[in-house]
Amino acid sequence: MTTTPHRRQFPAPTMEPDGDRHPIITTAGGRALAVLRILFGLTFLWAFFDKLFGLGYATPSGKGWIDGGNPTAGFLGKGTSGPFADFYQGLVGDWWVTPLFMVGLAGIGLALTLGIGMRIAAVSGALLYVLMWTANLPPENNPVLDDHIIGAVTVVALALVAAGNVWGFGKWWSSLDFVRKYPWLR
């Protein structure tokens, strides 16, 4: 048996996970995304509080949810158009629609504003945006796109780049035992 003493053993190449060890986003970019995340979160929270209290903007004074108003009835009943209008109009008065909508607005708004639960916020926020887009097809100023599609893509992108880690509680949230056990909660 012959051996080759000059032959060196090299370790086998390994694949490393593409985690936060090699960030692509600059500090300024991370801060800009954090501002975008917070602004989107505040738009959801504003919609929630306006519909809850009837602040006189999208929801007239005295017509808030706490006053006995139905925040979804006006839009679903009269504000829908296009091929899905009958579907949305059929939801008016269903017991589960308004509570689910209001919990969704508050939850998405809090998650985005605080930078926690970004994956859930992205999925539910994108779903809400797409549902609102389908409620008025085709869009008024463009045959396909409007701000709802841009919003859906944005909330997904914010979750994908972990925008909750900058000026938010994302890192702390991700370190919690139950979040580490169930990473979809990130």
* pLDDT tens digit sequence for 84-96: 999 999 999 999 9
Closest to 118 measured CA to CA, from 44, 40, 43, 170: 170
Q: From the CB of residue 81, how many other CB atoms can be counted at a distance below 10 Å?
A: 13
DSSP 8-class letter at 125: H
Residue 31 lies in a domain: no
**What is the Cα–Cα distance from 91 to 139, expressed in whole angstroms?**
21
Measured CA to CA, the distance from residue 30 to residue 47 in angstroms comes to: 26
User: 139: which residues sit within 8 A by CB, 6+ positions away?
Assistant: 133, 145, 146
Establish if 30 belongs to a structural domain. Answer: no
User: Which residues are bridge partners to 73 per DSSP?
Assistant: none
Taking the C-alpha atoms of residue 119 and residue 115, their distance in angstroms, rounded to an integer, is 10
Count up the domains in the chain and report the number. Answer: 1
CB contact at 8 A, 132 and 77 = no
Q: Does any domain span residue 3? A: no
> Does the residue 23 lie in any domain?
no
pLDDT of 152 reads: 98
In a domain, 97, yes or no: yes
Q: Taking residues 18-22, what's their average pLDDT?
A: 55
pLDDT at position 8 is: 60
- Chain segment 26-75, per-residue pLDDT in tens: 899 999 999 999 999 999 999 999 999 999 999 999 999 999 999 999 89
Q: In terms of residue numbers, what domain contains 150? A: 38-185
88 falls within a domain: yes
Q: Give the global pTM.
A: 0.85
pLDDT-derived band of residue 13, with 50, 70 and 90 as boundaries? very low
Band (24; pLDDT cuts 50, 70, 90): confident
The single-letter DSSP state of residue 158 is H
- The DSSP symbol for 78 reads H
Kindly state the average pLDDT of the residues 142-157: 95
Contacts of 105 (CB under 8 A, 6+ apart): 44, 45, 47, 48, 51, 128
Any domain includes 25: no
> Is residue 10 assigned to a domain?
no
